[in-house]
C-alpha cells in the first residue's frame, strides 16, 4: 500500500467519523453531550482539511503517488 493510498484511506475514515458524530449530535437529548460531539466534530474537520491538503500535495508534487 502506497503512502498516498494510506493518506486517502485515513481521509475517508475521518470523513466517516465526522458524519457519525454529526448524526449522534442530532440524536442526543443531552445538551452537554451534543456540545461535546460538535467540538470533536470541529477538531476532526481540522484534521480532515490537513489530510486533504496532504493528498493534494502528494498528487501534485510526487507523481509516483498518483492513484
Other CB atoms within 10 Å distance of the CB of residue 44? 20
* Domain residue ranges in the chain: 3-61
What's the alpha-carbon Rg for the chain, to the nearest Å? 15
pTM flag (> 0.95): no
pLDDT in tens, 8-32: 899 999 999 999 999 999 999 999 9
pLDDT in tens, 43-57: 999 999 999 999 888
Q: Which of 9, 8, 20 is nearest to 44 (CA)?
A: 20
Q: Give the C-alpha distances (Å, rounded to integers) separating 16 from 9, 11, 22, 49, 57.
A: 11, 9, 10, 14, 22
Question: Residue for cell digits 467540538?
Answer: 39
Amino acid at each position: 500500500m502506497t503512502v498516498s493510498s494510506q493518506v486517502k484511506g485515513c481521509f475517508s475514515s475521518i470523513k466517516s467519523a465526522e458524519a457519525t458524530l454529526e448524526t449522534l449530535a442530532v440524536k442526543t437529548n443531552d445538551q452537554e453531550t451534543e456540545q461535546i460531539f460538535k467540538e470533536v466534530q470541529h477538531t476532526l474537520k481540522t484534521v480532515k482539511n490537513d489530510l486533504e491538503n496532504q493528498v493534494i500535495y502528494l498528487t501534485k508534487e510526487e507523481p509516483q503517488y498518483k492513484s
